[in-house]
Amino acid sequence: MYGRYEQAIPEGWVTISAPASVGANSEATVKVTVKVPSTAETGMYEGIINLNIDDDSIKEWRQRVHLNIEVWKQPSTPFTDTFEVHQGEDFSVEITVRQFEYRHYGRREPVEPSFSVTLVSPLGERMQPEASKTVKTAHVSVGKGFLPPWEEKSEGIYRVLSMEYTEIYTVKNATAGIWTLEILPKDAEDIEYKITIGGEE
């Protein structure tokens, strides 16, 4: 158990495929499939599979395989914030999303995060501005740090541990009043944004 929000994985989510018995000094594959229904609550789930090995030399705790899964859903409504601008001022919005490699072990092709941005003027006009600047920042490991067990023997491998995507949006000669920023992320673990009002004199 990793936290107070842990709950048991419902048995109906799990299908186990395995031989009825395994002979001594032999190997077998136990296939575990977890299918999460779309109605599932978000959060962390924990479960234990008992391998039922009939061998007194193997402690009971060594016959258990622990499962920890996280159920997460894409947000369907945007994050919003408001800010005030004086008549004729310029302003810019800088948004950054990140993706961490350790969250996606087993995926051959990592999912690239993205987001959509909407600005609502004080007059209620909705606009989806084009980015005036785009920046991609990567953190690359040249060693075996943070590699999953099945790749620890690899040498000289490049590993992208994290990726950041930043876009900057600029509005010139803005209308005075309260503006609203809407950000709808996709495949993103977090959002960072900065609103800069005014420019150099």
Higher pLDDT, 11 or 156: 11
The yes-or-no verdict on residue 149 having pLDDT over 90 is no
The yes-or-no verdict on residue 182 having pLDDT over 50 is yes
Q: Catalogue all structural domains in the chain, each as residue range(s) with its CATH number.
A: 7-71 (no CATH), 79-197 (2.60.120)
Residues 6+ apart with CB under 8 A from 14: 32, 33, 34, 47, 67
Using one digit for the tens of pLDDT, what is the confidence trace for 86-144? 999 999 999 999 887 655 544 445 677 889 999 999 999 999 999 999 999 988 877 65
Using one digit for the tens of pLDDT, what is the confidence trace for 8-49? 898 899 999 999 888 888 888 989 999 999 899 888 898 888
Cα 36–chain centre separation = 17
